[in-house]
């Protein structure tokens, strides 16, 4: 899956059109963002930007903590966030970055194709947001 032209291990041609490489960091960390043109703070709050994280070691929200320095540093994790406190409720843990990257691309494609049941992840429904997300992803 590596693309020598980008020298970052991400073959961007395999990503669905709606997903953008948002950032790449040390230790192989990768963040993908879904439709940043829509979730730009105008139509929807930027905090609602769906993101996929690929991290070496379990992702942490604590500043100054490098996930690669934690006890889980041997494993790679993939996490889909719909907003900061709403994420796909499953642990996606892999022994290699290659396997985690494959799953990241598969999850991006499933989301883009409307195959992720994101409504079930919310305790408080956001109907207008769901309707627009359904339009973008072809869901429900």
Rounded mean pLDDT of 10-21?
Answer: 88
Q: How many domains does the chain have?
A: 1
Look at residue 120 in the predicted model and tell me its pLDDT. Answer: 85
Core vs surface per residue 51-87: b (16+ CB within 10 A) or e:
bbbbbbbbbeeeeeeebbebebeebbbbbbbbbeebe
In a domain, 1, yes or no: no
| Extended beta strands in the chain, E state | 19-24, 30-34, 51-56, 76-83, 86-87, 92-94
pLDDT band at 140 (very low <50, low <70, confident <90, very high): low
| Residue predicted with more confidence, 11 or 19 | 19
Whether the per-residue pLDDT at 12 is higher than 60: the answer is: yes
Share of the chain above pLDDT 70, in %: 80
Q: What is the pLDDT of residues 54-110, one digit of tens each?
A: 998 765 544 344 444 554 568 999 999 998 888 987 789 999 999 999 999 999 999
CA 42, CA 37: separation in Å to the nearest integer? Answer: 9
Rounded mean pLDDT of 120-138?
Answer: 83
In a domain, 2, yes or no: no
The pTM of the full predicted model, rounded to 2 decimals, is 0.78
pLDDT band at 129 (very low <50, low <70, confident <90, very high): confident
- Domain carrying residue 98: 14-60+71-137
């Amino acid at each position: 899956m590596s693309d020598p032209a980008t020298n970052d291990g991400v073959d961007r041609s395999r990503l669905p059109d709606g997903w953008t490489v948002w950032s790449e960091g040390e230790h192989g960390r990768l963040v993908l963002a879904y439709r940043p043109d829509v979730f730009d703070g105008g139509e929807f709050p930027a905090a609602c930007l769906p993101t996929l994280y690929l991290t070496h070691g379990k992702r942490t929200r604590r500043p100054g903590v490098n996930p690669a320095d934690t006890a889980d540093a041997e494993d790679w994790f993939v996490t889909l966030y719909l907003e900061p406190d709403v994420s796909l409720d499953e642990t996606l843990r892999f022994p290699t970055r290659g396997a985690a990257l494959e799953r990241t691309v598969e999850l991006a494609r499933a989301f883009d194709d409307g195959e992720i049941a994101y409504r079930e992840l919310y305790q408080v429904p956001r109907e207008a947001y769901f309707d627009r997300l359904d339009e973008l992803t072809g869901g429900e």
